[in-house]
């Protein structure tokens, strides 16, 4: 069975601090995809990144960076120099497409509060 | 480019009543999804359409939930009769058939069943 665990329910940081959101996944499949989504107070889920299981390169996009480690089944997300606008709930998701369809399995989310 | 549209944004009903939600995906997106997000949890897929055909409805409680996408564009999700545990945000998402890994979500409909 597939599972995504986001152990951090809520994190509070002061603006300009760095913060890392943890994501641990479980799957027996060798081919899978991992995602991060941001859910601001408006409710929409905003796509941030997708990683496939064969690409372990870390990625940086502005103040965002992602660390994918298959050895520990983790796909952690770091925000550098956090800003108040980063306050949101962040979801990690796993997709295993054995039949070609992308059914997402979401974690329970981490609520990030960035204080001014 | 317009995003995924959903209506209504909020709905309050009593248990055993019926309710319907509407979703209009991004133009050109063949794949449409309905998710249920209970407070404090991640979204859970209810049903996935490819054009007007159902691809996956394995987690849809079919005794009370139904969904359709008759013309392959907009979609409706219905609950009849509603239960207290149906209180949740119902999210609609869409994607290009060739890029299903990149789903675009609407603002959701927050349903409260009293």
> Which tens digit of pLDDT belongs to each residue from B19-48?
999 999 999 999 999 999 999 889 999 999
Mutate to test the interface with A, among B7, B29, B33, B43 (most CBs of A within 10 A): B43
The answer to whether the Cβ–Cβ distance between B103 and A102 falls below 8 Å is: yes
Cα–Cα distance list, B100 to A6, A79, A87 (Å):
24, 26, 27
The answer to whether the Cβ–Cβ distance between A103 and B101 falls below 8 Å is: no
| Residue whose C-alpha is closest to residue B39's, from A95, A21, A111 | A111
In chain B, % of residues over pLDDT 90: 78
Number of H helices, E strands in chain A: 0, 12
Q: How many Å lie between the alpha carbon of B107 and the closest alpha carbon of chain A?
A: 4
Q: How many Å lie between the alpha carbon of A1 and the closest alpha carbon of chain B?
A: 15
Interval A53-73 mean pLDDT: 91
Q: How many Å lie between the alpha carbon of A45 and the closest alpha carbon of chain B?
A: 5
Interval B81-94 mean pLDDT: 96
**Whole-number mean pLDDT of chain A?**
91
pLDDT recorded at residue A91: 97
pLDDT recorded at residue B65: 98
Interval A98-115 mean pLDDT: 84
- Whether a cis peptide bond, with omega within 30° of 0, leads into A99 is no
Question: Does B113 have pLDDT greater than 70?
Answer: yes
Question: Does B100 have pLDDT greater than 90?
Answer: no
The residue among B107 and A57 whose pLDDT is bigger is B107
d(CA A40, CA B88): 17
Q: What is the pLDDT of residues A38-47, one digit of tens each?
A: 999 888 889 8
The residue among B9 and A43 whose pLDDT is bigger is B9
Determine contact: A31 vs chain B, CB below 8 A.
no
What burial letters (b/e) apply to B3-42, b meaning 16+ CB within 10 Å? Answer: ebebeeeebebeeeeebebebbbbeebbbbbbbbbeeeeb
């Amino acid at each position: 069975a597939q599972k995504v665990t986001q152990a951090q329910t809520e994190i509070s940081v002061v603006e300009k601090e760095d913060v890392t959101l943890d994501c641990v996944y479980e799957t027996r499949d060798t081919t899978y995809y991992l995602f991060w989504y941001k859910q601001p107070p408006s409710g929409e889920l905003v796509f941030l990144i997708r990683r496939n299981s064969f690409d372990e390169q870390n990625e940086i996009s502005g103040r965002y960076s992602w660390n994918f480690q298959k050895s520990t089944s983790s796909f952690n997300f770091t925000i550098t120099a956090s800003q108040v606008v980063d306050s949101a709930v962040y979801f990690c998701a796993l997709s295993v497409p054995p039949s070609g369809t992308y059914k997402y399995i979401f974690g329970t989310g981490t609520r990030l509060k960035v204080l001014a | 480019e317009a995003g995924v549209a959903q209506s209504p944004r909020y709905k309050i009903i009593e248990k055993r009543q019926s309710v319907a939600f509407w979703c209009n995906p991004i133009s050109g997106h063949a794949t449409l999804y309905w998710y249920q997000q209970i407070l404090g949890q991640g979204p859970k897929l209810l049903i996935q359409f490819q054009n007007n055909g159902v691809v996956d409805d394995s987690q849809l409680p079919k005794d009370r939930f139904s969904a359709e996408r008759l013309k392959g564009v907009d979609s409706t999700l219905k609950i009849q009769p509603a239960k207290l545990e149906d209180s949740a945000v119902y999210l609609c998402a869409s994607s290009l058939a060739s890029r299903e890994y990149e789903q675009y979500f609407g603002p959701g409909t927050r349903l409260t069943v009293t």
